[in-house]
Amino acid sequence: MMEYLPFFMLPVTFGLMFLGVQVAFAMLLTATMFGLITFGPAVAHQFVEKIDDLASNFVFAAIPLFVFMGAVLEKSGIADRLFEAIHIWTRRLPGGLAIATVLMCIVFAASSGVIGATESVVGLLTIPIMLRYGYDKRLISGVICAGGSLGTIIPPSVVVVVMGPLADVSVGDLMYGMVFPGLLMAGLYLVYILVLCIVKPEHGPRIPREPGEPGFAEKLGITLRNLVPPLLMIVAVLGSILGGLASPTEAAAIGCVCAVLLTMLYRRFTWAGLYDSLLKTVRVTAMIMAVLLGGTLFTGVFVGGGGISLASTVIEQFQLGPWGLVFLLLLILFIAGFFLDWISIVLIFLPIFTPLVTAAGFDPVWFCILFLIMIQTSYLTPPLAPAIFYLRAVAPPEITMRHMYAGMVPFILLQVVVLVVTMVWPQMVTWLPGWAMQLR
């Protein structure tokens, strides 16, 4: 019976969560309880070692820096400038407002990688405009939620910073590997919106030409003022990581400096705004690190109690084969996404699944990207659907929950398409990290 004890850790943790215990404390309580049963008082030494490993991992220092960068951009009012610079080029397209919204989400995702901030800021700015021009409420909901969650799959990503050490893979390789799947997903969103609004113009009507519209030279000037500086910040952050010039932590520090300088350039810098950004950074980072601590101790007890070898033995008895194993693990992740947030999914499942997949002969970076795509779907799948709760906080009453759930479906299907393409052509993930390794 004792050899099966690690398997009971998952249902106990889920039970505590459903009873209302916060994720971090649910995993801490489970780890303590099963650790004492399995190892006795000696588990205290294991916990001290795990806490020391977590506290001394410099990669996690990137988390507060990326959160701060996103918080500064959220408070700075840069979003309206970005939207103006993008929308002047897309306004004559079918669904031009929705296309501009997704493009702005891409820029925000590549700027900070913080999901809630992107969706809240973009939603507050673009929802009233799209409603004014008669856009379909389901399309509005889907665009805001799906676009706002792109920060998961477009580098830099806070999720990837957490995933790398847990999966024992390079954060840099993960950021290289997510580039093409992230661009494919964003591109499919744009193509879907354009095709839908061409076939059904009432979903996203063209904006009629208005007197006083800026000419070509004026559009270029607006773009140079409003779009180029944020793009330079993205180049500074991503270019330093992908070019091998800086670690993710160092690049995040560069991004923080650039974000503050950007607010000064646009004359939006205030000490009150800086204080609010720092306060939000402390709160979000404390939450993430508390959950990381609980997840690290949980995983330590699970692995130390023989959970990985037991899982391997059970899976071998089912004789699923390597691909059957991958499909089973992805199915578990998809179901978990209905009930758990991203950090819970990463901390509970990634350290367990990665050794199994690696032992089956698959590239761990490739599997981590598949894992990321499944996390992406979890933002949109009810009943939890964090993206919908972010939207509910900023949407007017005329956009109902029914509109939101209906608007999610096409974008979830597009995410599944990206998942299938990435599975069929793993080179989408593995080529860029391999190319970067050759350059080094």
Q: What's residue 366's pLDDT?
A: 94
CA distance 65 to 45: 31
CA distance 325 to 316: 9
pLDDT tens string 216-242? 788 888 888 888 888 888 888 887 877
Hey, how many other C-beta atoms are within 10 angstroms of the C-beta on 352?
19
Residue-level pLDDT, tens digit, the chain, 440 residues: 556 677 788 788 878 877 878 878 888 888 888 888 888 888 888 788 878 777 777 777 888 888 888 778 777 767 777 888 888 888 888 888 899 999 988 887 777 666 666 777 788 788 888 888 889 999 999 999 888 888 888 887 778 888 888 888 888 888 889 989 999 999 999 999 999 999 998 888 888 776 667 777 888 888 888 888 888 888 888 878 777 777 778 888 888 888 888 888 888 888 888 888 888 888 888 887 887 888 788 878 877 777 777 777 777 777 778 888 888 889 888 888 877 777 778 888 888 888 888 888 899 999 999 999 998 888 888 766 777 777 877 788 888 888 888 888 999 999 999 999 999 999 999 888 877 676 65
pTM: 0.85
Q: Tokens representing 412?
A: 């979830």
**DSSP code per residue over 263-291:** HHHTT---HHHHHHHHHHHHHHHHHHHHH
Please say whether the beta carbons of 184 and 418 come within 8 A. yes
CA distance 367 to 40: 35
Q: What's residue 115's pLDDT?
A: 61
Positive or negative, the CA dihedral 312, 315, 317, 321 is negative
CA distance 158 to 144: 20
Please say whether the beta carbons of 322 and 360 come within 8 A. yes
Q: What's residue 360's pLDDT?
A: 85
According to DSSP, residue 170 is labeled: -
Name the residue among 160, 362, 126 with its Cα closest to residue 118: 126
pLDDT tens string 266-320? 888 888 888 888 888 888 888 878 878 887 888 788 777 777 777 777 777 777 7
Q: Tokens representing 432?
A: 């860029």
Domain boundaries, the chain: 43-439
CA distance 50 to 427: 35
CA distance 2 to 76: 55
Side-chain-facing half-sphere of 162: CA atoms under 13 Å? 31
3-class SS letters over 341-369:
CHHHHHHHHHHHHHHHHHHCCCCHHHHHH
CA distance 256 to 249: 11
